[in-house]
Structure 1
Amino acid sequence: MAETGRLYIGGRLRDTGVTREVVSPATGDVVGRLAWGGADDARDALVAARDAQQMWAAAGGDARAEWMDRLRERVIDAERELRTAVVAETGKTWGQSEEDYQLLVDSLSFYAAAARDLAPEPLADRAGTHTHELRSEPIGVAVAFVAWNFPLLNIAYKLGPAMAAGAPLVVKPSAKTSLSAAVLGRLCSEVGLPAGVVNLVWGDDVEIGDALSSSEIPALITLIGSADTAKHVMRVASTSVKRFSFELGGNAPVIVLPDADLDRAADIVATLKFANAGQVCVAPNRVLVHDDVADDLVARLVHRAHDVRVGAGGPGAVDMGPLIDEAAADRVLSLVDDAVSAGARVVAGGRRLPDAPTNAFVQPTVIVDVEADMRVAAEEIFGPVIGVQRFSDTRDAIDRANATTAGLSAFVFGSDASEIARCVDALQFGEVHVNGVKYAIELPHGGMKQSGSSCDCSLRALDDYLVTKRVSRPVSSPA
């Protein structure tokens, strides 16, 4: 078994005297060990980040970009080790681990380029009596809480913009998936990042999280997680004025119009829903399909569900792994059972995978005759379950799509440009994908309503980590 993964605080790897085993949800085997941190480790990480703040800000964008380039090259060298850790701790397939790894590489590349482009912006003076410039300066220490479904990708969303902006970062990975974070911390140590620029600390989620949130050191707290977690963080963090940036999941609707390309719609819905066992915040949650094509779309979805190879395996062996743990599988199956008891019908899957190595595996599932008030439609499923609702009027479909407190992603499939535009204009979601889907580090990713504030990815993500300083001088003043 590999060495125990250690915390990374103040430029050093740290043992804590306490360890925890990492158990694979796919096999039930112990796949690693982690040093287990506590509140004191979290406070030490904050102090290390605060001590690095002045140095890291003064280094300038070019120097920060050079450090990011060095880390990116080390990440590339360690691709297999990083992806192996992700597969071990999450149970996801080898192919699905590539997205985690690649987004880390892409984030370091994209934001290194952005760091080199940071420069003061001139601002016109209406009276002509002064010159003005707007400077973007680091906000200070940033704390990032990241979810377990994409352990490296979620860190990447925070690491790139924080390093580029010059904001020292403390990352708290989920207690469920800190093995890959430990590998990343070791890589940071190996390239010799300046002490305190990046810190990774994990342990009991509440103990570590509350120690970080309650401190007066962070200027920014950013979170990928649930709305309940975000509200808890804001309450605990009220010891000082802080900036918050949240991505809080969704309840994504799919509107399939009667003239849609049904094969395209089925391919994208099934791919998004069964990838990572449905544990994706932008995965389709409510498939609203016109009566005229509902039966045809369902037949296609059932066919694709039956074709998914589920299990634990190496590269190319399976298409979908388990949920993160047995409790997650229990919850997903309870949503299915609740829907059936209320009149829905299961037409594919709906049970645990027979003879699976653990109880965390759920079959790819399709449910029809779903109603909007069923839990499977009202809650984010976060599992491999497609719930189908029928509609006869587009306005009704839009109203049902918007009838949620979430507002992250939505999807529309159709051919009539006016009907598509009608949907796009009315949908209350931060992202609307039309006849396809696209995510990339350069594209803003964020939501409306209770799906969060601010955004990850793109140059706009830098705004969270920067503050604006205005410098004004009379025209006659020396520079």
Structure 2
Amino acid sequence: MDFGYHKLYIDGKLVDSISGKRHSVICPANEEEIAQIAWAGKEDALLALESARRGFDYWSSLSLSKRTEWMTKLRTAILEKEHELRSALVYEMGKTYEGAWEDIEAVINGLEWYPAAMKNMRDEQIPDYENTHTHKMVHQPAGVAVAYLAWNFPLLNVGFKIGPALASGCSLIIKPSALSPLSAYMIGGIMHDIDFPPGVVNILCGPSREVATTMTTSTIPAVLTMIGSTATGQKVIADSTTSIKKLGMELGGNAPFIVFEDADFDKALDLGIALKFGNSGQICVAANRIFVHKSIYQKYLKAYVQRASELKLGHGVDERPDMGPVVTRKDRDRMFELIEDAVSKGAKLEYGGKIPKGMEKGNWIEPSVLSGMTPEMDVFRKETFGPVAALMPFETDDEVLALANDTEFGLASYIFTNDHKRIERFSKDLQFGEIQVNGVKYSIYLPHGGIKNSGIGHDCSHLALDDYLVKKRISVAI
């Protein structure tokens, strides 16, 4: 598959980088080049910042209804290119074609939902107890926003940022990951084709030390928002202190998936598989550490291994696999290292742990299952971010609560039980930004955010608008 050459989108134009450099986009399924993109440098980042500054002046002056018209036009144009965009996701990141719809859906939902959410934002009236003034709090767009995106959901991450940024009145610079920049560049092409107002959105990718550092240290951005690793988030925070900026960050996760003895067994099994091997395990809310009550542990483990062994691996628009490759050879090798570390510390490899036969080319690894996980193992401590499941039995509620919270991360967590007192206790005491009980639901209108080292602020829901708005108090003497 050849997707050709795609240019930077700066100031409403498709342009080559100033240096003329290009970057190859490699398919993780076969290690073949599928596209080239213009490869930005420091000078391109500076141009994008100035463009976004001008774009903010224009966009923030438009009424919400006018901004909504443009967002609706963009949404329509993206839907018309759905197949091309989904295909790009399949080949740049190794997604299944069905799985790629989640990315498209996030973009179109974000462009539709956030104008309505912004319309529902109301000024806050503050009472004056001496009856000398009237007071109100009003919302205004913060300014230029810069978004750094992770590679695992290239367009979903665009949707999480472009919706609230544009609805609020901010201009936006998008820097996709160098591992999966193609679909984001294609969005730039679509915006160019519909004559989207210049400077309101700019899209470029290049070396982080040149592009990201230039934008992060600039005093132009009012907002820095990102989806990525905790280590990257810490660097962005440190580099941002050249001026006071609003920060919104969805960072690493290490989700506990707790199955109690009274759980709906089949549901806990179905979701335990889906949340571990969906998107090849490359999800921040993946079931990272699976804790199962001792009384049903062997039954659950046996069923889990059976289900993992039945997953179909494959790649391509016409294929209908359950799981694709991981994104890079380095990430695949990291899976082997996690397995080796666990086994050396007493775990048992129940299934997988090898390159599938006939799939030596590309970044393939079998869905893998480890039993006997302990806190000393890397699979317990680190975010796996790949198709390696690790299971561990527990006996008491106190024990599993302590194990679940024994992590620096605090994004998602999952519990399966029908005991209402237990649900109440774990909902209160689990140290995670999301507690999902007896099921899983994510949507554009539901807040998505973490605590501890998993982030600041929220993606999705009306709370995401907080990252792009500032509040002003207006007091008028009577």
- TM-score, normalising length: structure 2: 0.97
Matched, 1:64 2:97: no
Match in the other structure for 1:325: 328
Alignment partners' CA distance in 2, 1:116 and 1:263: 42
Report the RMSD for the aligned CA atoms in angstroms: 1.2
Match in the other structure for 2:411: 408
Quote how far apart the aligned CAs of 1:359 are: 4.1
Task: Give CA-to-partner distance per residue, 1:55-98, whole Å, 9 cap, x none.
Answer: 21111211111111110010111101111111110011111111
Match in the other structure for 2:6: 5
User: For residue 110 of structure 2, what is the amino acid of its counterpart?
Assistant: S
Across the two proteins, how many residue pairs are aligned to each other?
475
Alignment partners' CA distance in 1, 2:302 and 2:456: 38
In structure 1, list runs of 5 or more residues that go unmatched: none
User: For residue 126 of structure 2, what is the amino acid of its counterpart?
Assistant: L
Quote how far apart the aligned CAs of 1:153 are: 0.4
Find the partner of 2:305 among 302, 306, 313. Answer: 302
Match in the other structure for 2:81: 78
Aligned with 2:296: secondary structure?
A: helix
Equivalences for residues 333-412 of structure 1 within 5 A? 333-356=336-359, 358-412=361-415
Aligned with 1:206: secondary structure?
A: coil
Matched, 1:94 2:94: no
Contact 1:7 1:200 in 2 (8 A): yes
Quote how far apart the aligned CAs of 1:315 are: 3.8
Task: Give CA-to-partner distance per residue, 1:413-467, whole Å, 9 cap, x none.
Answer: 1121112222222100000111110000000000010000100000010001000
Alignment partners' CA distance in 2, 1:195 and 1:333: 47
Contact 2:87 2:317 in 1 (8 A): no
Matched, 1:15 2:1: no
Match in the other structure for 1:164: 167
- TM-score, normalising length: structure 1: 0.97
Match in the other structure for 1:242: 245
Matched, 1:270 2:273: yes
Match in the other structure for 2:32: 29
Aligned with 2:102: secondary structure?
A: helix
Match in the other structure for 1:200: 203
Match in the other structure for 2:255: 252
Alignment partners' CA distance in 2, 1:395 and 1:119: 44
Match in the other structure for 1:448: 451
Contact 2:90 2:315 in 1 (8 A): no
Alignment partners' CA distance in 2, 1:474 and 1:96: 57
User: For residue 227 of structure 2, what is the amino acid of its counterpart?
Assistant: I
Quote how far apart the aligned CAs of 1:403 are: 0.5
After superposing on structure 2, the runs of 4+ consecutive aligned residues of structure 1 that deviate more than 6 Å are none
Contact 1:62 1:115 in 2 (8 A): no
Aligned with 1:238: secondary structure?
A: helix
Matched, 1:109 2:140: no
Task: Give CA-to-partner distance per residue, 1:223-262, whole Å, 9 cap, x none.
Answer: 1111111111122221111111111120000111111111
Match in the other structure for 1:290: 293
Quote how far apart the aligned CAs of 1:51 are: 1.2
Between stretches 351-360 and 177-186, larger displacement belongs to 351-360
Between stretches 14-23 and 117-126, larger displacement belongs to 117-126
User: For residue 475 of structure 2, what is the amino acid of its counterpart?
Assistant: S
